[in-house]
Chains A and B, each alone.
Chain A
Amino acid sequence: MHLYRKAIENWFEQLTKLVYKKRLTTIFLILALVGAIASNLPNLKIDTETEGFLHENDPTRKVYNEFRDQFGRDELIVLALHPKDVFDITFLSKLQTLHKELEDSVPHLDDVTSLINARNTRGEGDQLIVEDLLENFPQSQNDITELRERVLSNPLYRNTMISEDGKFTTLIIKTSAFAPSDNTGDMLGGFEDTKTPEIGTAPKRKFLSAEDNRETVNKVKEIIAKYKSPDFPILIAGSPVMTNDLKAAMMKDMQKFMKLLVVIIAISLYALFRRKTGVLIPLIIVILSLLSTLGLMALFGAAIKLPTQILPSFLLAVGVGASVHVLALFFKEFDHGKSEEEAVVFAMGHSGIPIFMTSLTTAVGLASFATAEVAPIADLGLFAGIGVMFSLLYTIVLIPALISILPVSRKSTENEIERHAFMDGILRKTADFATGNAKAILSVSGVIIVLSLISASGIRFSHNPMAWFPKTWEIRKATTEIDTNMRGTTSLEVILDTGKENGLHDVEFLNKLQNMEDRFSKLDRGELFVGKVITLVDMLKEINKALNENRSDFYKVPQDRQLIAQELLLFENSGSDDLEDIVDSQFSKVRFTMKLPWIDSVAYSRFIKEVEAEFENEFKGLATVEVTGLATLLGRTLGAAVTSAGKSYLIAFAMITIMMILLVGDIRIGLYSMIPNLFPIVVALGIMIPFGMPLDLFTMLIGSIALGLAVDDTVHFMHNFRKYYHEKEDVSDAVRRSLHTAGRAMLVTTIVLSTGFFIFMFASMNNLFNFGFLTGLTIIMALVADFLIAPALMKVIDKPGAGYDN
Chain B
Amino acid sequence: MTTKPYEYSKGESVMKKAISLQRFQTPLYLAAFFALPMLLGYPAASHAETAAEIMQKVEDRDEGDNSIAEMEMVLIDKRGNERIRKIKSFTKFKGKDRQRIMFFLHPADVKGTGFLTYDYDDQKVDDDQWLYLPALRKSKRIASSDKDGSFMGSDLTYADMTSRNLGDYEFKLIKEDAVEGKPVWIIESNPNERAIEETGYTKSILFVRKDNYVVIRGKHWVKDGNKEKYLDVKKLEQIDGIWVTTEIHVTTKKGKNTLHKTVLNFSNVKYNQNFPEDIFTIRNLEKGL
Say if the beta carbon of B235 comes within 8 Å of chain A: no
Say if the beta carbon of B146 comes within 8 Å of chain A: yes
Say if the beta carbon of A180 comes within 8 Å of chain B: yes
CB pair B135–A110 under 8 Å, yes or no, is: no
**Set B135, B149, B228, B263: member contacting A574, Cβ < 8 A:** B149
Knowing A547-B138, A563-B135, A570-B131 touch, does A182 contact B256 (C-beta < 8 A)? yes
Stretch from B59-67, B247-255, B271-279 forming part of the interface with A:
B247-255
Q: Type the 1/0 row for B81-117, where 1 means its CB is closer than 8 Å to any CB of A.
A: 1110000000000000000000010010110010000
Say if the beta carbon of A561 comes within 8 Å of chain B: yes
Q: Chain A residues with Cβ under 8 A from B81's Cβ?
A: 199, 584-586
Tell me the minimal C-beta distance from A180 to chain B in angstroms: 7
Stretch from A122-130, A465-473, A713-721 forming part of the interface with B:
A122-130
CB pair B80–A198 under 8 Å, yes or no, is: yes
Knowing A110-B225, A190-B230, A563-B133 touch, does A547 contact B140 (C-beta < 8 A)? yes
CB pair A129–B143 under 8 Å, yes or no, is: yes
Say if the beta carbon of B69 comes within 8 Å of chain A: no
Complex CA distance for A198 and B135, rounded to whole angstroms: 35
Tell me the minimal C-beta distance from A129 to chain B in angstroms: 5
Say if the beta carbon of A153 comes within 8 Å of chain B: no
Q: Chain B residues with Cβ under 8 A from A196's Cβ?
A: 76, 80, 261, 263
CB pair A203–B142 under 8 Å, yes or no, is: no
Say if the beta carbon of A409 comes within 8 Å of chain B: no
Q: Chain B residues with Cβ under 8 A from A200's Cβ?
A: 79-80
Complex CA distance for A222 and B269, rounded to whole angstroms: 56
CB pair B219–A566 under 8 Å, yes or no, is: no
**Set A183, A501, A562: member contacting B83, Cβ < 8 A:** A501
Complex CA distance for A178 and B78, rounded to whole angstroms: 14
CB pair B251–A194 under 8 Å, yes or no, is: yes
The interface on chain A, measured as residues whose beta carbon lies within 8 A of the other chain's beta carbons, has a size of 55
CB pair A194–B78 under 8 Å, yes or no, is: no
Complex CA distance for A183 and B254, rounded to whole angstroms: 8
Q: Type the 1/0 row for B112-152, where 1 means its CB is closer than 8 Å to any CB of A.
A: 01000000000000000001011110111111111111111
CB pair B225–A569 under 8 Å, yes or no, is: no
Closest to A558 in B: B135
CB pair A129–B144 under 8 Å, yes or no, is: yes
Q: Chain B residues with Cβ under 8 A from A190's Cβ?
A: 219, 228, 230, 253
Complex CA distance for A602 and B249, rounded to whole angstroms: 50
Say if the beta carbon of A457 comes within 8 Å of chain B: no
Say if the beta carbon of B217 comes within 8 Å of chain A: yes
Closest to B218 in A: A191
Question: Which B242-289 residues have C-beta < 8 A from chain A?
Answer: 249, 251, 253-258, 260-261, 263
CB pair B158–A575 under 8 Å, yes or no, is: yes
Say if the beta carbon of A729 comes within 8 Å of chain B: no
Say if the beta carbon of B77 comes within 8 Å of chain A: yes
Tell me the minimal C-beta distance from B26 to chain A in angstroms: 15
CB pair B110–A194 under 8 Å, yes or no, is: no
With most chain B CB atoms within 10 A of its CB, the pick from A129, A130, A191 is: A191
Say if the beta carbon of A135 comes within 8 Å of chain B: yes
CB pair B256–A194 under 8 Å, yes or no, is: no
Closest to A122 in B: B143
Knowing A126-B141, A188-B186, A202-B78 touch, does A547 contact B255 (C-beta < 8 A)? no
Say if the beta carbon of A538 comes within 8 Å of chain B: no
CB pair B133–A577 under 8 Å, yes or no, is: no
Q: Chain A residues with Cβ under 8 A from B150's Cβ?
A: 572-573, 575, 577
Knowing A131-B143, A199-B81, A566-B134 touch, does A577 contact B257 (C-beta < 8 A)? no
CB pair B261–A560 under 8 Å, yes or no, is: no
Q: Chain A residues with Cβ under 8 A from B104's Cβ?
A: 569
Q: Chain B residues with Cβ under 8 A from A195's Cβ?
A: 258
Closest to B113 in A: A566
CB pair A128–B142 under 8 Å, yes or no, is: yes
Q: Chain B residues with Cβ under 8 A from A566's Cβ?
A: 109-110, 113, 133-136
Q: Type the 1/0 row for B187-218, where 1 means its CB is closer than 8 Å to any CB of A.
A: 00000000000000000010000000000010
CB pair A130–B144 under 8 Å, yes or no, is: yes
Question: Which A679-704 residues have C-beta < 8 A from chain B?
Answer: none
Q: Type the 1/0 row for B1-31, where 1 means its CB is closer than 8 Å to any CB of A.
A: 0000000000000000000000000000000
Q: Chain A residues with Cβ under 8 A from B79's Cβ?
A: 197, 199-202
Complex CA distance for A110 and B217, rounded to whole angstroms: 28
Q: Chain A residues with Cβ under 8 A from B131's Cβ?
A: 128, 570
Knowing A505-B109, A565-B109, A576-B149 touch, does A203 contact B78 (C-beta < 8 A)? yes
Say if the beta carbon of A502 comes within 8 Å of chain B: yes
Q: Chain B residues with Cβ under 8 A from A127's Cβ?
A: 140-143
Say if the beta carbon of B75 comes within 8 Å of chain A: yes
Chain B contact residues: helix, strand, loop or mixed: strand
Say if the beta carbon of A150 comes within 8 Å of chain B: no
Knowing A563-B133, A565-B109, A566-B109 touch, does A574 contact B80 (C-beta < 8 A)? no
Complex CA distance for A182 and B256, rounded to whole angstroms: 7
Closest to B255 in A: A181
Q: Type the 1/0 row for A622-655, where 1 means its CB is closer than 8 Å to any CB of B.
A: 0000000000000000000000000000000000
Complex CA distance for A179 and B75, rounded to whole angstroms: 25
CB pair A205–B257 under 8 Å, yes or no, is: yes
**Set B135, B143, B158, B219: member contacting A191, Cβ < 8 A:** B219
**Set A178, A203, A562: member contacting B134, Cβ < 8 A:** A562
Say if the beta carbon of A187 comes within 8 Å of chain B: yes
CB pair B140–A128 under 8 Å, yes or no, is: yes
Closest to A182 in B: B255
Say if the beta carbon of B70 comes within 8 Å of chain A: no
Tell me the minimal C-beta distance from B249 to chain A in angstroms: 6
Closest to A136 in B: B145
Say if the beta carbon of A805 comes within 8 Å of chain B: no
CB pair B254–A194 under 8 Å, yes or no, is: no
Tell me the minimal C-beta distance from B162 to chain A in angstroms: 13
Say if the beta carbon of B226 comes within 8 Å of chain A: yes
Closest to B147 in A: A575
Complex CA distance for A129 and B147, rounded to whole angstroms: 14
CB pair A181–B158 under 8 Å, yes or no, is: no
Complex CA distance for A474 and B41, rounded to whole angstroms: 70
Closest to B143 in A: A129
Say if the beta carbon of B43 comes within 8 Å of chain A: no
Say if the beta carbon of A193 comes within 8 Å of chain B: yes
CB pair A565–B143 under 8 Å, yes or no, is: no
Q: Chain A residues with Cβ under 8 A from B251's Cβ?
A: 194
Closest to B256 in A: A181
Q: Chain B residues with Cβ under 8 A from A205's Cβ?
A: 257
Residues of A within 8 A of B (CB): 110, 123, 126-131, 135, 176, 178, 180-183, 187-188, 190-191, 193-203, 205, 501-502, 505, 547, 558, 560-567, 569-570, 572-577, 584-586
Query: Can you list 21 A-B pairs with a CB-CB distance of less than 8 A?
Result: A128-B143, A131-B143, A135-B145, A178-B257, A181-B255, A183-B226, A187-B205, A188-B205, A191-B219, A196-B261, A197-B78, A203-B78, A203-B257, A203-B258, A562-B135, A569-B152, A569-B153, A574-B142, A575-B144, A575-B150, A585-B75
Known: A126-B140, A188-B186, A567-B136. 9 other contacts (CB 8 A): A128-B140, A181-B255, A181-B256, A202-B78, A502-B107, A547-B133, A573-B150, A576-B149, A585-B77
Which 8 residue pairs of A and B lie closest in terms of their CB atoms, listed nearest first? A575-B149, A181-B255, A575-B146, A565-B109, A563-B135, A199-B80, A585-B77, A194-B251
